[in-house]
Amino acid sequence: MIKLVILDVDGVMTDGTKYYDRDGKVVLKLFCDKDWTAIKRFRAIGIPVVFITGDPYNEMILKNRNLPVVVNRGEGFHKDKVNYLAEVLEDFNCFAEEVLYLGDDLFDVNIMKSVGHPYCLLDSPIIVKQNANTLYCKAGENVIMQLFDKLEIDELIPVVPYDEVMTKIYELDLKEKF
């Protein structure tokens, strides 16, 4: 069973497109609301969701939704995501074999090799697909929702009755800023 989900952001929850201003700062990305709901579904059934992202732009978006986030790249540093795995495992009291990681790019390969349940997307590079289970969806296309459904079907997460899940989802929703 999966006890923790770790997600990349860009190229997973977004299609990877970024809109920049004239100074080269990111000003806009598109997210799918069904994915935010799927994240709440994971949390409602007791599976924490953590993000490791290379774009500091994503940090406040995730914090506004009360989601733990690690930014592995910024001014003057860029660390491999796998360098954060031990700390995340300790924080969430689980083993690497119990962790699902979903990423899409070369920067995700080392952490994929280190967890029990690595996943990537249909439009990921071949080297990424060689190190992960491929979901049959592309970046930004309801990815987390489809992941949740697949994990239920594959019996890798518990199936919890709708009424029980919705009560917890509403509670989580009240704690988010939009």
Q: Which of 67, 80, 72 is nearest to 35 (CA)?
A: 67
Q: pTM for the whole thing?
A: 0.95
Q: In Å, how far are 39, 77, 137 from 134, measured between CA atoms?
A: 19, 30, 8
List the chain domain ranges: 1-54+93-109+129-178
Helix 33-44 crosses helix 143-153 at what angle (to 10 degrees)?
A: 40
Distance CA 21, CA 79 (A): 26
Q: How far is CA 3 from CA 72, 96, 97, 134, in A?
A: 23, 10, 9, 20
Q: How far apart are CA 139 and CA 171, in angstroms?
A: 28
Q: Would you give per-residue pLDDT tens digits along the chain (178 residues)?
A: 999 999 999 999 999 999 999 999 989 999 999 999 999 999 999 999 999 999 999 999 999 999 999 999 988 889 999 999 999 999 999 999 999 999 999 999 999 999 999 999 999 999 999 999 999 999 999 999 999 999 999 999 999 999 999 999 999 999 888 7
When the candidates are 3.90.1530.30, 3.20.20.120, 3.40.50.1000, 3.20.20.70, the CATH number that belongs to 1-54+93-109+129-178 is 3.40.50.1000
